[in-house]
Structures are given as structure tokens and as C-alpha cells.
């Protein structure tokens, strides 16, 4: 089983990637969106997702890298309240705001067309 990565590990991986390449999740062609507090653990981050045709998705590696860098040191509001400051050691999940999916982000993989955010189900 792959190990869940942190915000810092994703920032480092994205920084090494080709910035103008496309990026999406490993499930259903969904695109990543901005980080939010994860409902399962408010002090963790979730990177949400939208369907590939939705213009609000982050289409390029550079876009997601910028969003993740902004999240490092930023304070997020938990779904039911509280303020949580995230940093490079913060674990990452794939989930939209208000959802607890048990889907951990475990890596970034090169594909022929761009990059794939790898995930795994973790209870």
C-alpha cells in the first residue's frame, strides 16, 4: 500500500514537474481544484475535484503548484468551525469541501499527456 503524502511532498513533486503540462486525478479524469480543510480531519487538507469539462479545474501543473504554495502557512476554517494553519507536514486527501472520502493522495505520476495525482482508499 502506498503511503499518504504531505503538502510539502506534493509541492516538491510539482516543482520538479513540467509546469505547462496538464494535471488530473487518477479517477474518472477529474481535475484538481484549490485546497480546503478536510472534513475528516480539519487539520488536514483536501484538494477537491471537478469534472474535466468544468472550467474551474486547475488544468496545469503550475496552477496546482501555486495553489499548494499558497496553502503552506495559510489558515483554513474547519467544516464545523475552528481555524487550522496548514504547513508542509499536513497530510493530503482527495475530497471536495464538506466531504470525508477516505481517499488519500499518495503521489504524482508522469503520463504521456501530463501528470496524474495518485490516490488510494484509506479507512
Q: How many domains does the structure of the chain reveal?
A: 1
Which letter does DSSP use for residue 91 in this model? B
Confidence band of 58 (pLDDT split at 50, 70, 90): low
Structure confidence at residue 54 as a pLDDT band (50, 70, 90): low
- Kindly state whether residue 100 falls inside one of the protein's structural domains: yes
Poorest-pLDDT segment among 9-13, 28-32, 45-49, 77-81: 28-32
Tell me, yes or no, whether 70 lies in a domain. yes
Phi, psi of 12, deg, nearest 5: -60, -45
Nearest to 46 by CA among 89, 85, 102, 110: 102
Share of the chain above pLDDT 70, in %: 94
Residue 2: inside a domain, yes or no? no
pLDDT of residue 59: 78
Contacts of 27 (CB under 8 A, 6+ apart): 94, 119
Q: Which domain holds residue 109?
A: 7-121
Residue 88: how many CB atoms within 10 A of its CB? 15
Specify if 78 maps to a domain: yes
pLDDT in tens, 30-43: 999 999 999 999 99
Amino acid at each position: 500500500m502506498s503511503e499518504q503524502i504531505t503538502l510539502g511532498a506534493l509541492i516538491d513533486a510539482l516543482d520538479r514537474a513540467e509546469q505547462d503540462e496538464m494535471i488530473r486525478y487518477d479517477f474518472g479524469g477529474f481535475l484538481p481544484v484549490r485546497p480546503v480543510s478536510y472534513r475528516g480531519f480539519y487539520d488536514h487538507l483536501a484538494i477537491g475535484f471537478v469534472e474535466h469539462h468544468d472550467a474551474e479545474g486547475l488544468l496545469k501543473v503550475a496552477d496546482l503548484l501555486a495553489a499548494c504554495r499558497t496553502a503552506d502557512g495559510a489558515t483554513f476554517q474547519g467544516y464545523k468551525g475552528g481555524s487550522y494553519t496548514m504547513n508542509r507536514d499536513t497530510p493530503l486527501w482527495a475530497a471536495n469541501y464538506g466531504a470525508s472520502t477516505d481517499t488519500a493522495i499518495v503521489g504524482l505520476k508522469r503520463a504521456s499527456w501530463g501528470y496524474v495525482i495518485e490516490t488510494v482508499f484509506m479507512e
